[in-house]
Amino acid sequence: MTDLAEYPALEIIDETGFPAGLSQTTEANGLRRANGSAPTVLLNGFPQETYKRCSSDYSSFLACLDHYPSLTGWLPATPPSSLWKPVPTNVLAVSWNHPDEAPQPGIRYRGWDLIAVPRVGAMKDALNPFIAWWAVLFALSMMARYEPSNWAGMISIDSSSDANAIENLLDQALGALPHLILEAIDVSAS
C-alpha cells in the first residue's frame, strides 16, 4: 500500500522552472526537447527520507517511481545521486529515452499545473485529485452534520490546533475545485 507521506503528489516542472507544458520552447505534449535529446522534466517534492531509501541503487529508485503510474517508462536523467538537490526543494530529473513520442508525465491540476499522483492501496491507476477532494470534503461534511459540537470545537481558531489546517484546506478547495469540476465536465462531454 502506498503511503502518501512517503510518496506525495509531485509537481512536474521543466528545467526553466515553469510547470511542464508552459515553457516557450516546447514540443508535443508540452515537453522540452533540447537539440534532439530526450525530453526531461523535473519532479519537485520528493521527501528527502524517501529519496535516501530509494537512491541506494538504480532498481530501488525505479521501484519508487513505480508508485507513480504516469511516470511509467520515465527514467532518471543520470544516476540519481548526482541529481539530488535537498535545498531549497527536493528536485529530481527524469527523461523519456524511448523512440516513440513521450507521454505526458502527469495529470493537469487546477488547469495549469502538471502533477504526478501516486496510486493508493491496491489501485492500478493514480488517485484522481477530484475524487481525493470529494472524499476529504465528504468526511468533513459528515463531521459537521452528525457531530456538530465536535466540528465546532475543531474549527474554533482560539482553542483548536486543527482549526488553522482546516481553514487552509477549505481555502485550497475553493481554488482547486472549480478547475477540477470544469475538467471533469469537459472530459465527460468529449
Residue 20 Cα distances to 28, 41, 47, 103, 135, angstroms = 11, 7, 20, 12, 28
Q: For the segment 140-165, what is each residue's pLDDT rounded down to a tens digit?
A: 999 999 999 999 999 999 999 999 99
Average pLDDT over residues 18-45: 57
How many CB atoms sit inside 10 A of residue 181's CB? 12
Closest CA to 111 of 173, 179, 174: 179
Beta 91-95 vs 107-109: how paired, if at all? unpaired
Cell matching residue 113: 499545473
Q: Where are the alpha helices (DSSP H) in 11-104?
A: 48-54, 58-65
Among 12-16, 54-58, 130-134, top mean pLDDT goes to 130-134
Question: 3-state DSSP call for residue 10?
Answer: strand
What local confidence, expressed as pLDDT, does residue 20 receive? Answer: 56
Contact 74, 105 (CB under 8 A): yes
What local confidence, expressed as pLDDT, does residue 80 receive? Answer: 47
Q: For the segment 73-105, what is each residue's pLDDT rounded down to a tens digit?
A: 888 775 444 444 444 456 777 888 776 777 778
